[in-house]
Amino acid sequence: MVVRETNAGQPGRAFQGRAGDTLDAGALAADDRVLDGDRFASEGSWAFCRFTSVEVPAVRMGFQRGAFNIGRAGRPLDPDHLQLHLEIMTRDGGLLWLPSGRYPAAALHQDADGIHVQLEDDGKPILEIGGWPDMEWNLRSAGGETGIRLQCRMESATYLPDCVLPHCVFCMWAATGRARAAVSYGGRTVEVEGWMFHDHPRIIHGPNEVTPRRMFLYTTLFFEDGSRLLGYHALDDGGRPFASCCFGVYAEPSRGGWYLPDARLIRLETDRDGVPVRWSFVWRSRDVTVEAEVRASPPVLGRVWGGDFTPKTRADLIALPLVTEGSAVLTRNGRSYEQRGYGLSEYYDADHWEA
């Protein structure tokens, strides 16, 4: 079934841009980048990094200040909740520091101009994010077991459609750019280079008369020529495509970006733990078609620490980042060509989340 996103081209509820618009990252309005606690009870910054390194192929990290509910059932919210992740995917397994709930949201400080945010543990900074479009991210575990120092230059940004859920409206823009980093773990430091997707979500709380979202699959791919692709595909409780979460964005280094509102998930294969291992899709706009097949490396847990919940198996932590490779046929102006790509993906399943 093809899904057409009806919100494309319309103003969003949390940002100044229109859904589907892609612009130079440096032109992104300052009010759309900073944390605005007066207007939004929950918002954050997340980085999906995919490197060319065999030793450290990927890192996912970031924070979400203030609780929100993307599930099906109502539950109490703690406005002072701080979700915090540092997930380093190494060749030998994932090192996941997950101290969510350990630090109050009020402990996250933002400077007067809104460009820099910082979080401290015992008087020492463990999280620092600043700059735009040239950004720096520094994040380390409280005990110093692992960390990352990253520099990146955001090149383009796209306003995504508002996702209306039963208990909130999830609003977001996503930016992409080149990155380099020093990743420390196990007493050593590995220098890496690659690409980064940077998400800035804002949450508007409130009940909505909509069908709950049962699952979503977030896919990113970076291609050999410097172009990149991101997209969502989701199903509701009835197994039907969830309209506001079915779309793609394709961007080229020097030619801008295309919003792809027609989405079709062709196949999704999962392993015995319910983790996706292979999927294929088609995303289209009037000018661009992307047909892609993606394969995920089997995720392995190395160590998980930082909070009360320390999962032991992949089935306990269904939201592991998925390190991927893939190929895509890109068609534009009547011409088609195939490229190889690599990325970092995320899968959400309500049955696992609610459990």
- For 50, residues 6+ apart whose C-beta sits below 8 A from its C-beta are 57, 58, 194, 195, 196, 220, 222, 323, 342, 343, 344
The candidate with the shortest Cα–Cα distance to 158, out of 5, 316, 319, is 5
pLDDT at res. 316: 67
Rg, Å, the chain Cα set? 19
The parent domain of residue 234 ranges over 3-354
Burial class (CB in 10 A: 0-12, 13-18, 19+), 84: buried
Per-residue pLDDT of the chain (355 residues; tens, 9 = 90+): 344 444 566 778 999 988 889 999 999 999 999 999 889 989 999 999 999 999 999 999 999 999 888 877 777 788 999 999 999 999 999 999 999 999 999 999 998 777 799 999 999 999 999 999 999 999 999 999 999 999 999 999 999 999 999 999 999 999 999 999 999 999 999 999 999 999 999 999 999 988 888 889 999 999 988 899 999 999 988 889 888 889 999 988 766 788 998 889 999 999 888 889 999 999 999 889 999 999 999 878 889 999 876 666 666 666 789 999 999 999 988 899 999 999 999 998 877 655 4
Buried b / exposed e along 249-283 (16+ C-beta atoms within 10 A)? bbbbeeeebbbbbbbbbeebeeeebebbbebbbbb
pLDDT at res. 197: 94
pLDDT at res. 284: 92
pLDDT at res. 41: 87
Tokens encoding 263: 């989405």
Q: Can you give the CATH number for the domain in which 114 is found?
A: 2.40.370.10
pLDDT at res. 9: 66
Number of domains in the chain: 1
